[in-house]
Every structure is written in C-alpha cells, then in structure tokens.
Amino acid sequence: MSIFQSLLNNADDNVSLDSYIQKNYAQIEAFCSTRVDSQQIELDNFEQFVLFKTGVIEKLDYTKSYNRGFVYHLIDYCERFCSTSAIVQLYHIIQDNRLNIGSRLEASMLYLYNVPSNQTFVDRFNDICSKLQTAINEEDDNDKRAIASFLNYYSYVVYNTSEQFSSGVFLKYTNAIENDSFPFLKNDVIQECFALDYHKPEILYNIVQKKIDEILGRNEEFIIQPNRENDYLIESDTEYARILNNTPRTFQAIRNISVQQINQFENKDDIYYSLGRGVKILKEEAQLYSYLNSYGNMHEAKMLSALHKLPLEELEGKNIEIYDWACGQGLASIIFREFVENHNYNIYNRNIVLIEPSEIALKRAALNVRHFNGQCQIKTVLKDIDSITKEDLNCDSNSIKIHLFSNILDVEGFSMEHLISIIEQTQKGVNFFVCVSPYITDAKTARIDKFVQHFANQYNSYHLYFEIENQSGEWRNSWTRVIRLFRVNL
Ligand SMILES: C[S@@+](CC[C@H](N)C(=O)[O-])C[C@H]1O[C@@H](n2cnc3c(N)ncnc32)[C@H](O)[C@@H]1O
C-alpha cells in the first residue's frame, strides 16, 4: 500500500496519526528522498490525505520533533509537485504552531501560496532569491535543494503563466546576475536552464524538471571506497605538528594554534565561506584553521554541556572505546578526554576509532588525539558513513562504547538506516551515545530524533540521560543546540 494511503487509513484521529508517524517516520522520510518519478505517482493520494485529514493533522502535538518533521516533508512534497491546493491547507498549521520549515520552503511559499496575480511571481523574485540564499548560507548542507527550488519556481512560472511574466522573471534574473545580487544564481545548471527558450514552455518545463531530478539525485562523488591501508593515518612532519608538540594539552590551546594561523591569511573571509557552514568535506589546511577558529568555541560549549550529563560514575574503573563519527579534526574526542581528566575518574580509554571522509582532517584528528593520549590505540577510517562496512568497526563487546556524534546527525548526506544497521551489527554490549548538533530546522532535529527513537523503540535497555533543544537566543551567545544523551545495551 502506498505511503499516503497508509497515512489516510491511520489518521482517524490525532492519537492514531501521531503513533503512525512516530513508528514510520523513517519510511516517510525515505519515501521523500526517493526518485521523483516514484514520488509523483502518489500525488493524488497525497492530496487526498492532506485535504481529507487537515483537521487531524492540525491537532498533532507539535512539541514532538517527528510531527514537526512530518509537516516539513508534506510541504517539501507540495513544493516539488507544486500542489497549491494542499499548501493552502498546510499553511495555517505552520503559522498556528510556529513551525520552522526553513528559508528554502519559505521561499517556495512565496510562489505557491497567496499569489493574487501573475505579476506577483515577478515582483517576488528578489524575496524568493534572498530566502534561497539564506538557506544556502545558513541552513542547508549544500546548495542543491535551493537550486532545485529556484528552478522549480522558474519552470512553474513559464508553464503556468504567459510570455509576459516569463520574460519578467527572466529580466529579473539577468539583472541579478549583472549586479551579483545572489551568488547562487551563477550556478551552471541555472545558467543552462535560463539559456532555454521560454517561448516554448512545455519543452522548457520538461528539460528543467529533468535537471531538477538530476540535482536532487544521490551524489556519488562523496563515496570513498574501502582501502585497508588507511587504518592508521596520522599527520606528521608538518609545521602544525611541530607547533602542537609544544602546546599544552587543552582544547583551548589547540584552538589557539588555528586562530593564530588563520589570521595570517588575507583571504580568510573566502576561506570561511568555503566551509559551507562547516559541513563540507575539507580539502585544504587553511580550511582546518578557519573551522576551528570559527566553530571551535561553540562546538566545545555544546559538547561540554552534554558531557556534564554523562554518568561518569558508571564508567569508573571500566575500559572504554571511543567512536568519533565524522570526527573532523577530532574535536569531540579531545574535549571528551580533557573533560574526563578534569574530573579525576579512572576510566581506561584503550581504543579510539576516528571516522571521517576528509583525509586532511582525519590525519589531523589522529595527531590531535595522539597529543592528548600517548597510550591508546587509534584507528582511522577514511570513509563517509554510507561506505562503512562491518569490517571497519570490530569492537570489544566487554568495553563500554562511547559514541560521539558531534555535529553530524543533522547532516542529510548519509543514510540513517545504514548507520543504525552498522551500529547494531557491530557494537555489542553497553553503548553510550552523545549526540550534539546545532538547531537548524525542525526537519533536521527530526532526523536526529529518528536515530534516537530507533533505539528507544527497539531496546528495553534504552535509557535517556538528557535531551534539550535551544534555538537562537535561548542559550549562550546566539548559539543553538540539540542534545540527546542515552545508553543502550546491544
Ligand atoms: C560539522 S562537521 C563536524 C566535525 C566534528 N565532528 C566536529 O564536531 O567538529 C561535519 C563533518 O562531517 C563530515 N562529513 C560530511 N559528510 C559526511 C558523510 N556523508 N559521512 C561522514 N562524514 C561526513 C565532514 O567532513 C565534516 O568533518
């Protein structure tokens, strides 16, 4: 049965719909990231569900992140297929519950909702682009979805209005390019689509829709193939290694190296922008410095606020293994190490497994970790999460495993199902999960909770120690945080 038929059948009231969403969130999210053609055949079922069940959807408990994430996916679906009838129903749910659908979908609302005349499509060009640029700069993991949304807007106008308005949008676009108003418009695919003839709406529409499918398709370039020789990569004989050697063993002292180094670069703003909010797979040493300079203090504060809730007494006298997932330069591992040392517990850290697809970051992580801990065995896994296999993670079932997920569970570029399955297959015994991310949008928080909820649903041993969510202004500085700290026996 299709996903929206099942939703329809399970939405007699808000309690049954809530429980269906909670149990099937992963499936709903997975459906929304499948190929567009398999999603499109569901359009009628989708609209029936939203139109018949608006009254039930609006009564869901929106303090729960999976319900907020659910509405995000409904809006995302509306946007992809320009379902203006469903958007009308969902709009007031967003407003009434102050849901944060993110700047990209807010941009989509500007051409799908409350459009009094065709001229409005042209008049809202700058507002749409401005929101999409914000999505790219501050919220999304890359520019793909924003570019897809922009092309969807353009093809929608060309297909559904007349030449006068298509040319209006086209002119706005050429002006914006000339004035360099929105950097994302310089993207090659956008330029190719604007080179098409808008006097032939159907042809343009079909080509642009194909391009959107390609943009939203899986990006294979991230996949790093297994290489058994990468078990112990470490930076050596570099200027950084020499400086580090004479640096005190504290996180702040290590960060200061990066602060000093980045200040010597004239183009440090460009380097900062090349980090893509810190989620890009870094390739240059200058980016490593910029990352630690810009994000180091915030990441340390978030990680410490989680570690303060870790029951260290349960680890006293025990052997532990650290798994630092998407470790970057190993910040989470060294913050953990310093935290434990400052608390005078006897905790024996035998192994640290560092997992990261950026080679330059991974080598530095190993060096940073070695600086703090000369004894432990370090294993490096140079891979993105989707490429990890069981063989990469052979753990000791007698040790307590501490999994550090520092600023990665909210990133959308990997399969949560694969991550969960690989953990379940390899991490037998007692596991603590320290999950720390920024608050970006409701959908990203729902992604983190999908991970947590899996263990909560499947294992009686699941124990939650701490959870908190702070948006900007609710915690320190303007920093945000989403923290989940739990234990489970696998
Ligand atoms: C925001 S940084 C967090 C780094 C580190 N955990 C920290 O807290 O500083 C995100 C990291 O995820 C890595 N990354 C990006 N996509 C990934 C993927 N698909 N699988 C594993 N790591 C990924 C990046 O290379 C980057 O180091």
Which pLDDT tens digit goes with each residue over 205-247? 999 999 998 888 755 445 555 555 668 999 999 999 999 999 9
Average pLDDT, the chain: 93
Confidence of residue 21 (pLDDT cuts 50, 70, 90): very high
Size (the chain), residues = 490
- Residue 282 in contact with residue 361, Cβ under 8 Å? yes
Pairwise CA distance, residues 288 & 291, whole Å = 5
Percent of residues, the chain, with pLDDT higher than 90: 80
Does the global pTM surpass 0.75?
yes
Atom of ligand 1 lying closest to residue 222 CA = 19
Pocket of ligand 1 (CB under 6 A): 222, 278-279, 281, 299, 326-328, 331-332, 356-358, 361, 384-385, 406-408, 411, 413-414
Mutation test of ligand 1: which of 333, 385, 411 has the most ligand atoms closer than 8 Å to its C-beta? 411
Instruction: Answer yes or no: do 205 and 244 share one domain.
Output: no
* Distances 446 to 65, 105, 271, 472 between C-alpha atoms, Å: 5, 16, 31, 18
Quick one: pLDDT at residue 39? 74
Is residue 222 situated within a structural domain?
no
Confidence of residue 37 (pLDDT cuts 50, 70, 90): low
Classify residue 209: in a domain, yes or no: yes
Distance 279 CA to ligand 1 centre (A): 6
- Specify the residue with its C-alpha closest to ligand 1, atom 10: 279
pLDDT at 14 over 90: yes
Nearest by Cα to 115 from 94, 93, 91, 133: 91
Going by alpha carbons, the residue nearest to atom 21 of ligand 1 is 384
Question: Looking at the domain assignment, is residue 226 inside a domain?
Answer: no
Average pLDDT over residues 76-89: 89
From ligand 1's centre to the CA of 327, what distance in Å?
6
**300 vs 442, which has greater pLDDT?**
300
* pLDDT on residue 221: 47
**Rounded Cα–Cα distance for residues 329 and 416 (Å):** 22
Q: Are residues 184 and 297 in the same domain?
A: no
> Is it the case that residue 163 has pLDDT exceeding 90?
yes
Percent of the chain with pLDDT over 70: 96
Q: Contact, 317 vs 286, CB < 8 A? A: no
Ligand 1 geometric centre to CA of 411 (Å): 8
Q: Residue 29's pLDDT band (boundaries 50, 70, 90)?
A: confident
Examine the fold and report which residue of 172, 200, 215 is the final residue of a domain before the chain moves on. Answer: 215
- One domain for residues 315 and 460: yes
Residue 220 belongs to some domain of the structure:
no
CATH number of domain containing 266: 3.40.50.150
Residue whose CA lies nearest to ligand 1 atom number 17: 384
Instruction: Tell me, yes or no, whether 347 lies in a domain.
Output: yes
Domain co-membership, 396 together with 251 = yes
Q: What is the pLDDT of residue 93?
A: 93
* Residue 279: per-residue pLDDT: 87
317 shares its domain with 456: yes
Supply the pLDDT for residue 113. Answer: 94
Q: Compute the average pLDDT of residues 315-321.
A: 95
Q: Relative to the CA of 328, which ligand 1 atom is closest?
A: 27
Asked which of 215, 248, 280 is the last residue of a domain, the reply is: 215
Instruction: Note whether residue 363 is domain-resident.
Output: yes
What range does the domain containing 334 cover? 239-489
Q: Is residue 116 part of a domain?
A: yes
Q: What count of other Cβ atoms lies within 10 Å of the Cβ of residue 85?
A: 10
233 within some domain: no
Rounded mean pLDDT of 186-212? 95
Name the residue with the closest Cα to ligand 1, atom 25: 281
For the segment 454-458, the average pLDDT, to the nearest whole number, is 95
Same domain, yes or no: 191 and 320: no
**267 and 135 housed in the same domain:** no
State which of 215, 247, 282 marks the end of a domain: 215
CA angle 199, 200, 204 (to 5 degrees): 115
- Choose between 140 and 307: higher pLDDT: 307
Neighbours of 192 (CB within 10 A): 13
Residues 201 and 152 in one domain: yes
Nearest CA owner, ligand 1 atom 22: 326
Helices (H) and strands (E) in the chain, counts: 21, 7
Q: Tell whether 175 and 260 lie within a shared domain.
A: no
Measured in Å, residue 32 CA sits from the centre of ligand 1 at 23
One domain, residues 177 and 259? no
User: What pLDDT sits at residue 36?
Assistant: 67
Q: Of all protein residues, whose CA lies closest to atom 27 belonging to ligand 1?
A: 328
The pLDDT of residue 35: 65
412 and 268 in a common domain:
yes
The H or E element spanning position 324 is: strand 319-325
Mark whether 172 and 27 lie in a shared domain: yes
- The Cα 256–Cα 248 span in angstroms is 11
pLDDT confidence of residue 220 = 46
If one counts the domains in the chain, the total is 2
For residues 46 and 26, give the distance between their C-alpha atoms in angstroms, rounded to a whole number: 17
Among residues 220, 234, 225, the alpha carbon closest in space to that of 360 is found at 234
